[in-house]
Structures are given as C-alpha cells and as structure tokens.
Structure 1
Amino acid sequence: MLQLYGRNCLLLDNGETHTCVQLISKYHIFCNHFKDAVLPLDKELYRVLICDNDYKRCQSCGSRFYSKARNKRYCDKCADIIKRQKAVERKRRQRERQKQLLYINN
C-alpha cells in the first residue's frame, strides 16, 4: 500500500511532516497517489472501497450481485424464479375472483 513513515505520507514529504489522508479519514477520502497508483493494481481493494455500494445481497439466496437500481432485491437467477412464483399466485387469485363472480351471478 502507501509508503508511510509512522503516520506520515512519504509522497507528501517536502521537508515537513504531513499526516496521510487515508489514516485520518473514515469516509473514503483518498490521496491522489493512492487512487491513481495503488487502487488500479489491487482489484479486490478497488471493489471493496469504490464499488461496494453498488453490490447488494439477494433476499432469496443471499448471494451478492451488482445493481445500480435502488429497488432490485434479487439476483438474476432468483429474479426469474420469484417472477414465475408471483405470476402463478397472481393468476390463482384472478381465477378465484372469477369463480366468486360466477357464483354470485348464478
């Protein structure tokens, strides 16, 4: 990772000591060297720090999946299954209502 001397950033060292921005931040504020030199080389670290907000957990199987949509709840595999189940349930309710209407009219 970043070259640190104690808690000071060597890249910012111009004779004065500068505390590394990474170490004092808890809201993902990174120094330019870290963003430009370290993150592109470490794909897993990049995914965790930068892209983690776009990953969600499937409410059906619990696996992680990528989604920019705010209301997406299921991974693609489970979404097809849930969609079929809801369609079956919706059709069952529709048929039940039709039976009730026929019974009332007769």
Structure 2
Amino acid sequence: MMFLLTTMILVIMMILVTVLNLVSKKSFYDREKNSPFECGFDPKNLARLPFSLHFFLIAIIFIIFDVELTLFMPMIMILKITNLTTFTFCLISFIMILTIGLFHEQNQGALNWTH
C-alpha cells in the first residue's frame, strides 16, 4: 500500500514537472540569444575579419605578467633554505625585472588604449 502511494506521488510529480517545463518556456527567440558567444565576434559573418592587434598584445602582456606572478610562490620555499640576505637580493632582482619590463611596455605604447 505504501509503495503504491509513493509511486503515485512520484508519477504525479514527474507529470507536473514536465507540464510546467513545457508551459514556462519562452516562445520568443532572439538572434543574439540563440547564437553562440565567440569573444565578441559575430559567428554569422565571415571568419576572416581583421583582428585587433592591440587587443592581442594586451592579452599576451597579461598572460606574461600573470605567469610571472606564479614565480613568487617558490620564494616562500626558498626563504626556508637560504639566509635573509640572499632571499632579499633574489626578490628585489625579480621585482626590478618585472618593473623594468612594465616601464618598457609603457614606453613602447603597448598599454595605451587610445590608438
């Protein structure tokens, strides 16, 4: 008796979920909603449209500096096996290389969004 009641409730709930799913769907389909997002490119147009080189350079600079930040993680382990003077010299050298690279990119104009 209990199994029959549980089965009936389960069947009724499955029917309700199916009916409510069919009733609640939107019938208005927009072109932008149905098309896949392709990094700002319209997938319905030609694939050989020119790509912004400036956007590409900014992305590469971001990846380079992001990867260099992961190099800070081993610095914690180096602190355990070296003395403070060696660690300080290593850390200052690394930060100076990053800073010089950032100033070089700024002087080259790669970080300007105006051109």
What TM-score results when the alignment is normalised by the length of structure 2?
A: 0.27
The answer to which structure has the higher strand fraction is 1
Give me the TM-score of the superposition, normalised by structure 1. 0.29
User: With CA pairs under 8 Å and 6+ residues apart, which has the higher RCO, 1 or 2?
Assistant: 2
User: Which structure shows the higher helix fraction?
Assistant: 2
Q: Rg larger in 1 or in 2? A: 2
